[in-house]
Amino acid sequence: MQNFLISGVCQPRRGNGGFGRVPSQAFACSDGDIFVVAATQKQWTSLVKILSRPELADDPDFATVSARIANRDRLLEILRAIFLSKPAAHWVAELESADVPAS
């Protein structure tokens, strides 16, 4: 609603994800869901290391905030598959230890 009030533009629905950062949303895990936010470049780099996909940090399609937003759908497809591979408690513990917000 804020975006509409400020810009007059009605944004498309994003499900449980936000507009400003990617990822910033819920992900299904093998036994439940978690919410993950990688708002900063440091958090993004930590996230992809934890996910055993460090090459994503340097991929031009995902290397910057604006690139991740532009390639949101493809990135989320990759992340969803990874998060499904292990239980929520595993991911939360790993992410929290690296200062990546998750719950």
Averaged over successive runs of 10 residues, the pLDDT of the chain (103 residues) comes to 58 51 95 96 98 98 96 97 98 98 96
Q: What is the pTM of this model?
A: 0.82
pLDDT at 13: 47
Q: What is the pLDDT at residue 88?
A: 99
DSSP 7-40: H---PPP-TT--SSSSSEEEEE-SSSEEEEE--S
Contact (CB, 8 A) for 49 and 43: no
pLDDT of residue 64: 96
CA-CA-CA-CA dihedral for 19, 20, 24, 26, to nearest 10: -10
- The residue type of 83 is F
What does the pLDDT look like over 41-57, one tens digit per residue? 999 999 999 999 999 99
